[in-house]
Structure 1
Amino acid sequence: MRKIPGASILTSASLLCFSSLLLIACAKTPEPPVNVAAPAPVEWTKHGGGDAEQRFSTLNKITPSNIAELGLAWSFDLGVSRGIEATPLVVDGLIYVTATWNKVFALDAKTGALRWQFDPKVDRSKAADLCCDAVNRGVAYSDGKIITGTIDGRLLALDAKTGAKLWDVITVDQSKPYTITGAPRIVKDKVFIGNGGAEFGVRGYLSAYDISTGNMLWRFYTVPGNPADGFENPAMVKAAKTWTGEWWKFGGGGTAWDSMAYDPALDLLYVGVGNGSPWNQSIRSPGGGDNLYLSSIVALRPDTGEYVWHYQTTPGETWDYTATQHLILAELEIDGKPRSVIMQAPKNGFFYVIDRATGELLSAKNYVPVNWATHIDPKTGRPVEIPEARYGSKAPYLQLPGPFGGHNWHPMSFSPDSGLVYIPAMETPYVYANDKDFSYNAKGWNTGADSAMGSLPTDVAQFKAVKAAVKGRLLAWDPVKQQPAWQVEHNSPWNGGVLSTAGGLVFQGNADAKLVAYRADNGERLWDFFAQTGIVAPPISYELDGEQYIAVASGWGGAFALVYGGLFPAESDAGVGRLMVFKLGGKSALPDIADKVAARPAPPESNANPETIAKGKIIYDSNCVVCHGDHAISSGLIPDLRWSPLLASDEAIQAVVLDGVLSSRGMPAFNGVLNKADVQDLRSYIISAANEGLEAKLDIGK
């Protein structure tokens, strides 16, 4: 296997198992920096704790010396559990949190008493347009208003005291597969929101709205559209020169679905831009090119949307390597000089430190094992790619990171006290291969990568090897030295976002259903609490009446949990979603977990021929796996199809899959994507999977 300078490498055994598994603009130094980082000391009024998005609390009453006294003060049952990813906000004694399907709750931050709740009544059939679960990441607050986005593409303003709706605007063309899962951001009197949908074939953009009226003020597209329609601004003219072919027919992608940050001293809004549509550049832009502004950090003027600079982390993106991961602003001393920087650990596995005034690369180093590039050239800022990784016209390539990335959406944290960035990192290899039969589907996934490569092996030895190769960790990273300070290994990937505090602590929830506190300086595990369900959301901290609180929303879910949660079961109960709040001396307890074990009905006899089952698996992997799980083994977040009464007849399953009789419950119709013959083959595959007994064979269990 090729040796990668400066990068960790998979073992030969891991490579062999995975192959078997998946093959069936420089400028002068700016003036001394102005610190934009300090958050409000008592409340948590912004998504990342402040405009700099450091997720660092200046509260210091909870420390390593008294952390043993930390206990549950109160909890609130959100009534749903699927994919709770929200960052709570705390303003004027109220704590605001969102749940599945964009429900908003306002609670007394000291007692947990419900003050109000709001249900935007989203169109649940839009679940068909979600790549990564029916999630959202929280609300924004300003001027007495709570601002929230919805899965069906709306932006709403609510009265912060009463929950009354003030305005409700549509931000997308709802006939297209756009969605909103990110938290809005507010700068001055403007609300900023992006969208998702790149996997389905949309053109990404960021929009600004007037906080008082909901009127749209400007829109910045992140990729160019059809040249015949003209380009919106000089930035799009520049970008179009880096694309080839007829990319606009595939949408182009570049959705700004999550991260933003703001520097008031420079008056710059920073936006993370996502992957291409399709992923496979050889289809999207067959002549190559950088494909701006995919996988880029883009700096804009918040008042006008004017482009200022960009830095592209993955030119010619072809692996779903988004740069929508958490952006952090900080002041660092580099080479003896103070620098105002923006930091990111995007999916591609490299940690970037960039001058936030100019976009100049200051340093970059891989924070997880990578084998698609050897390093980032410090002079050009570009990755030095390994040619074999460009799978479009070559053989399949086993790669680290895979599409889940070295770091996904789960926010990291920066502590000015320790000088370290705490990253929810992971290793999830993947084999990329060209989809030779690709045709654009306006109602489905459009990756251009062979989805059959994603199935895990059913051979016992290979499966165990795969599980051993997939990893998750909490990584404390020194951004100046560009090296790890310490790390804690987790039992699986897909662990929660991170909070660091002036008390010398780091808090993170994990897939094993625990909220854990570590020493910020050395990673020593000091305290944990069993939450009954996996935690993917990030904690926050606030103070009321002289007491410091830690709050986190629990609820297992998201992309990895849906696809692989059944094959990588965590110590979680899928059905318990809560907001949990802790303080020193807290004496509350969570309700007992209800026994949800139910008898499984015997599946129908599997009598289809192997060819039909194989056709059904292709249909399943292309349309169903992202929600119902690899090999039809569900995570438990949504019904396990293998035990569904719908398998009793072709007519029953067709009524759901084609006619959409369960669309109001989040199961969309696939009429226009699949036909009756497809559904018959799909049913045959699911029945075969039910009779296979794969869980017992692979000894899968908690």
Structure 2
Amino acid sequence: MHKWFSVVALVLLTSACSKDAPRPVELPDVTKAEQYPGQWITHGRTYSEQRFSPLKQITRENVDSLGLAWSFDLGTSRGIETTPLVVDGVMYATATWNIVYALDARTGQPLWRFDPKVDRSKAADLCCDVVNRGVAYWQGKIFTGTIDGRLIALDAKSGEKLWDVVTVDQSKPYTITGAPRVVKGKVLIGNGGAEFGVRGYISAFDADTGKQVWRFYTVPGNPHEGHESEIMAEAAKTWTGRWWQYGGGGTVWDSMAYDPELDLLYFGVGNGSPWNQAIRSPEGGDNLFLSSIVAVKPDSGEYVWHYQTTPGETWDYTATQHLVLAELKIDGAERKVIMQAPKNGFFYVIDRETGELISANNYVPVNWATHIDLNTGRPVEVPEARWGNRAPHLQLPGPLGAHNWHPTAFSPDTGLVYIPVLETPYIYGDEEDFQQSDVRWNVGANAGLGSLPNDKAQYLALRAAVKGRLLAWNPVTQSPAWKVEHDSPWNGGVLATAGGLVFQGNADAKLVAYDAKSGERLWEHFAQTGIVAPPISYELDGEQYIAVASGWGGAFALIYGGLFPAESAPGVGRLLVFKLGADGTLPELVGQSAAKPSIPPLEASADVIAKGQQLYNASCLVCHGDHAVSSGLLPDLRWSPLLGLGEAWNAVVLGGARAAQGMPVFASDLDEADSEAIRQYVISEARAPFEEKFKDD
């Protein structure tokens, strides 16, 4: 009787108290993101990844009164690629070194800051700057990936760390730059590192505990150790040689999308490791699942279907570019499709239920294939393009692709896909005596062939061939609707809105609004530094905002940014937020006037300088720039005080004196004579600066 009475009393007491207790706040539901038009609660706004905002307060007619509402200094001059999220009036964004910020989305007032304290030496394992593309949100939690391969959960209100798990073998050159996604309580994350030699995969972790739920490998491992699944055993039949010794590649470093009705998760797979198929799979083969779109069940990671855009990939033609889900009327019938403009230059419309190819056409000039065979779904290759063990080939697109990571947008109002397009030709050719390295890129390609030529006529011709544009593409007719040419190929991601607008930032440090139907330029704002990140839109208190992160960086900016002048200069990375009628201004930039040190004498022979150039191209170019010309994101070696100090130079190159800042230690690949040859080559470039040679032209 006593126990029974206690239980009843407790129930009555709890019921009585609950009448006066406040009801728990209803958290935004990512699965119903389309019901929150004023918020941006997942990477592409909704699981369809259309990057289309239904807000229409800002229109073609009034966009010219758009002004700066507020800005927030992210404390970096490096590349910023984040897509901010806005949930319940709070903006969440990432900056260099994976630092996460929470800000009041009305004012920009900081609410909290989280520093994951990444191992900065892992910057040496990044192909394309210490970037990060954003966070994920789920039921009061924020999730972020780090360049040292961790996945971290934070309390969205306080920024307190809830859990922190390692998702990779940290002894290998894995990194994370992509934004996680959350589907059905599982946090999904891939990784990067295919340029260095890793095996790719995507993993799912429980959002509450951080426990790994499943993992899907994208290329087969060592067959002598057994395959993880039947699908990996089947994939292994499309490989030859001893591919696993080189890693294989296939990293899932960016795009994902999810269809709740079909309950299918889609993700894009990256390039081979090394690029050169003649090394990793010498007898050919499709090399599944490189350069593929893969559909799996999100609960288990069970394989459903795949479509391979580039069988036997050998050009760094990743299929990790933005994936977009839509319903299109094709041949009189409504089709559920998935669309992609991957690096290889062809735009694909695929049935997302079955993986069947519906249509494909090149959206830029290409010379590696003539077309896509709609019966087989395969590209019809030009024989000269398969360069492994053959003569070098000047090709479009190059490894930067016809479209890189910068997100596309799709407007259901216009039916157009808006693509940040690149035209960057490249000469592919074998690397002589390829040897797997622990510290440098392992792509099996001669990096020197892709270097800009010293010959004036050749340089000017190649310079004219490097282009960038914003392209509006009709996915039903597979044809262009309009295009806007840019001065640089490396420009920002895209946002489309119901106000009839398309927003894109560019390398010339401007955020621009275009008419979504015609491409007419309607408004622009000078951001002081270039923009590669995609804009978003949100609404608070009845006002629509446009937000974007500034900060030029990434692969092109590191390698060629100093050689393709733009109005952008390395500057302060910021979050910039605009609304109608605002008139805010940015702080004035303070110019740097540091004197350049004197250039040491050139003491080496022509042969030593030539050797130094070869070694520089193989080990240094991808970070410090072609012809040692830096865009300012990393130190310009020509003006380094170490250039005149041989011992100090060796301490950095061979001894690891700056490993904590992300500088690789090359002692396993280079000796003192090699290091000295590189130094002498850089001295030669300092004495005859490449960017000065053709200045009159």
Q: TM-score range by the shorter chain?
A: over 0.9
* Separation in structure 2 between the aligned mates of residue 37 and residue 55 of structure 1, nearest angstrom: 12
Does residue 625 (structure 1) correspond to residue 621 (structure 2)? The answer is yes
Structure 2 residue aligned with 1:133, among 113, 129, 146?
A: 129
Structure 2 residue aligned with 1:591, among 583, 587, 591?
A: 587
2:654 — aligned with what?
Answer: 658
Give the match's secondary structure for 2:123.
helix
Note if contact 1:628-1:640 (Cα within 8 Å) is conserved in structure 2. yes
* Separation in structure 2 between the aligned mates of residue 263 and residue 693 of structure 1, nearest angstrom: 53
Note if contact 1:78-1:579 (Cα within 8 Å) is conserved in structure 2. yes
- CA distances 1:95-139 after superposition (whole Å, capped 9, x unpaired): 011101101100000000000101111111111111111111000
Does residue 379 (structure 1) correspond to residue 375 (structure 2)? The answer is yes
Shift in Å, 1:675: 2.0
Alignment of structure 1 residues 441-456 onto 2, 5 Å: 441-456=437-452
* Separation in structure 2 between the aligned mates of residue 694 and residue 417 of structure 1, nearest angstrom: 47
**Higher mean Cα deviation, 452-461 or 523-532?**
452-461
Does residue 111 (structure 1) correspond to residue 127 (structure 2)? The answer is no
Alignment of structure 1 residues 326-345 onto 2, 5 Å: 326-345=322-341
Note if contact 1:36-1:330 (Cα within 8 Å) is conserved in structure 2. no
Alignment of structure 1 residues 183-332 onto 2, 5 Å: 183-332=179-328
The unaligned stretches of length 5 or more in structure 1 are: 1-34
1:62 — aligned with what?
Answer: 58
Shift in Å, 1:264: 0.3
Note if contact 1:40-1:50 (Cα within 8 Å) is conserved in structure 2. no
Note if contact 1:474-1:488 (Cα within 8 Å) is conserved in structure 2. yes
* Separation in structure 2 between the aligned mates of residue 426 and residue 398 of structure 1, nearest angstrom: 16
* Separation in structure 2 between the aligned mates of residue 700 and residue 513 of structure 1, nearest angstrom: 24
2:394 — aligned with what?
Answer: 398
Superposition TM-score, scaled by structure 2 size:
0.95
- Paired letter, 1:455: S
Note if contact 2:446-2:618 (Cα within 8 Å) is conserved in structure 1. no
Shift in Å, 1:692: 1.3
Give the alignment's Cα RMSD to 1 decimal. Answer: 1.2
* Separation in structure 1 between the aligned mates of residue 641 and residue 116 of structure 2, nearest angstrom: 31
* Separation in structure 2 between the aligned mates of residue 356 and residue 670 of structure 1, nearest angstrom: 46
* Separation in structure 2 between the aligned mates of residue 407 and residue 178 of structure 1, nearest angstrom: 23
* Separation in structure 2 between the aligned mates of residue 36 and residue 148 of structure 1, nearest angstrom: 21
Note if contact 2:255-2:320 (Cα within 8 Å) is conserved in structure 1. yes
Shift in Å, 1:669: 2.1
Shift in Å, 1:604: 0.1
Shift in Å, 1:393: 2.4
Structure 2 residue aligned with 1:611, among 602, 607, 616?
A: 607
Larger Rg over CA atoms? 2
1:541 — aligned with what?
Answer: 537
* Separation in structure 2 between the aligned mates of residue 438 and residue 321 of structure 1, nearest angstrom: 21
Does residue 644 (structure 1) correspond to residue 640 (structure 2)? The answer is yes
Shift in Å, 1:290: 0.2
Alignment of structure 1 residues 493-532 onto 2, 5 Å: 493-532=489-528
* Separation in structure 1 between the aligned mates of residue 690 and residue 293 of structure 2, nearest angstrom: 43
**Higher mean Cα deviation, 617-626 or 170-179?**
617-626
Indicate the structure whose relative CO is greater, using CA pairs within 8 Å and at least 6 residues apart: 1
Shift in Å, 1:36: 9.2
2:5 — aligned with what?
Answer: none
1:492 — aligned with what?
Answer: 488
Note if contact 1:47-1:140 (Cα within 8 Å) is conserved in structure 2. yes
Superposition TM-score, scaled by structure 1 size:
0.94
- CA distances 1:440-474 after superposition (whole Å, capped 9, x unpaired): 22332111111110110122332222211100000
Give the match's secondary structure for 2:177.
coil
Give the match's secondary structure for 2:577.
strand
Shift in Å, 1:37: 8.9
* Separation in structure 2 between the aligned mates of residue 443 and residue 468 of structure 1, nearest angstrom: 34
1:165 — aligned with what?
Answer: 161
Structure 1 residue aligned with 2:415, among 408, 413, 419?
A: 419
* Separation in structure 1 between the aligned mates of residue 651 and residue 555 of structure 2, nearest angstrom: 26
* Separation in structure 2 between the aligned mates of residue 328 and residue 521 of structure 1, nearest angstrom: 19
Note if contact 1:36-1:52 (Cα within 8 Å) is conserved in structure 2. no
* Separation in structure 2 between the aligned mates of residue 630 and residue 654 of structure 1, nearest angstrom: 21
Does residue 43 (structure 1) correspond to residue 72 (structure 2)? The answer is no
Shift in Å, 1:695: 2.2
- Paired letter, 1:393: N
Note if contact 1:628-1:641 (Cα within 8 Å) is conserved in structure 2. yes
**Higher mean Cα deviation, 656-665 or 50-59?**
656-665
- Paired letter, 2:278: S
Does residue 362 (structure 1) correspond to residue 366 (structure 2)? The answer is no
Does residue 78 (structure 1) correspond to residue 74 (structure 2)? The answer is yes
Give the match's secondary structure for 1:496.
coil
* Separation in structure 2 between the aligned mates of residue 418 and residue 462 of structure 1, nearest angstrom: 41
- CA distances 1:31-76 after superposition (whole Å, capped 9, x unpaired): xxxx999463010000011100000000000001000110000000
Shift in Å, 1:694: 2.3
**Higher mean Cα deviation, 660-669 or 354-363?**
660-669
- Paired letter, 1:175: S
TM-aligned CA distance change 1:74 to 1:155, over 3 Å: same
* Separation in structure 2 between the aligned mates of residue 318 and residue 655 of structure 1, nearest angstrom: 36
Structure 2 residue aligned with 1:582, among 578, 582, 599?
A: 578
* Separation in structure 2 between the aligned mates of residue 531 and residue 224 of structure 1, nearest angstrom: 45
1:97 — aligned with what?
Answer: 93
Does residue 561 (structure 1) correspond to residue 557 (structure 2)? The answer is yes
* Separation in structure 1 between the aligned mates of residue 319 and residue 438 of structure 2, nearest angstrom: 25
* Separation in structure 1 between the aligned mates of residue 691 and residue 304 of structure 2, nearest angstrom: 53
TM-aligned CA distance change 1:662 to 1:595, over 3 Å: same
* Separation in structure 1 between the aligned mates of residue 67 and residue 604 of structure 2, nearest angstrom: 55
2:10 — aligned with what?
Answer: none
Does residue 635 (structure 1) correspond to residue 631 (structure 2)? The answer is yes
Shift in Å, 1:650: 1.6
Give the match's secondary structure for 2:165.
strand
2:23 — aligned with what?
Answer: none
TM-aligned CA distance change 1:247 to 1:700, over 3 Å: farther
- Paired letter, 1:202: V
* Separation in structure 1 between the aligned mates of residue 35 and residue 411 of structure 2, nearest angstrom: 12
Shift in Å, 1:671: 2.5
Shift in Å, 1:437: 1.4
- Matched residue count: 667
Note if contact 2:273-2:443 (Cα within 8 Å) is conserved in structure 1. yes
* Separation in structure 1 between the aligned mates of residue 453 and residue 192 of structure 2, nearest angstrom: 31
Give the match's secondary structure for 1:274.
coil
Note if contact 1:37-1:54 (Cα within 8 Å) is conserved in structure 2. no
Note if contact 1:153-1:174 (Cα within 8 Å) is conserved in structure 2. yes
- CA distances 1:528-556 after superposition (whole Å, capped 9, x unpaired): 00000000000000000000000000001
* Separation in structure 1 between the aligned mates of residue 235 and residue 247 of structure 2, nearest angstrom: 14
Note if contact 1:36-1:263 (Cα within 8 Å) is conserved in structure 2. no
- Paired letter, 1:216: Q
1:18 — aligned with what?
Answer: none
